[in-house]
Amino acid sequence: MSQVRSVIRFRVKPGREADFEAAFEQTGMLTRPRAIDGFLGAELVAAETGGEYLVIGAWRDAEAYRAWQAVSAADAPREAMRALLDTLADPRPGAVYRIVSTS
């Protein structure tokens, strides 16, 4: 199988961007995946207009991402997860995408 990307979209309640960023950092959502075989890296990006964030992850294959999904919320610090969820306007799960073309 070929590499895939995961994308998680976060819509943050107005004025809660700093709270979201702090809680996101405390959950370890960009560092804890390093324990998953097949994790290649990830980044949190913010829209210039504010209130919308994406986490874009790179994975060896869809199975590696599914392994992360199985433990991502359960293994996160509970208080940090509660704080993160409190900032969200519309919580949604992530999705995995196959790479169609690159430059």
DSSP 7-55: EEEEEBPTT-HHHHHHHHHHHTTTTGGGGSTTEEEEEEEE-TTSSEEEE
Name 23's Cβ contacts closer than 8 Å, sequence gap at least 6. Answer: 80, 81, 83, 84, 86, 87
Mean pLDDT value across residues 67-81? 90
Q: What is the residue-averaged pLDDT of the chain? A: 94
pLDDT reported for residue 74: 84
pTM, two decimals, is 0.90
The CA-atom distances, in angstroms, between 8 and each of 4, 103 are 13, 23
Q: Measured over all CA atoms, what is the biggest interatomic distance in the chain, rounded to whole angstroms?
A: 42
Q: Is the pLDDT of residue 1 over 70?
A: no
pLDDT digits (tens, 9 = 90+) for 31-71: 999 999 999 999 999 999 889 999 999 999 999 999 999 99
Q: In this structure, what token pair is assigned to residue 83? A: 């704080």
pLDDT reported for residue 88: 97
Calpha distance 2→40 (Å, rounded)? 12
Cα 1 versus chain centre, distance: 22
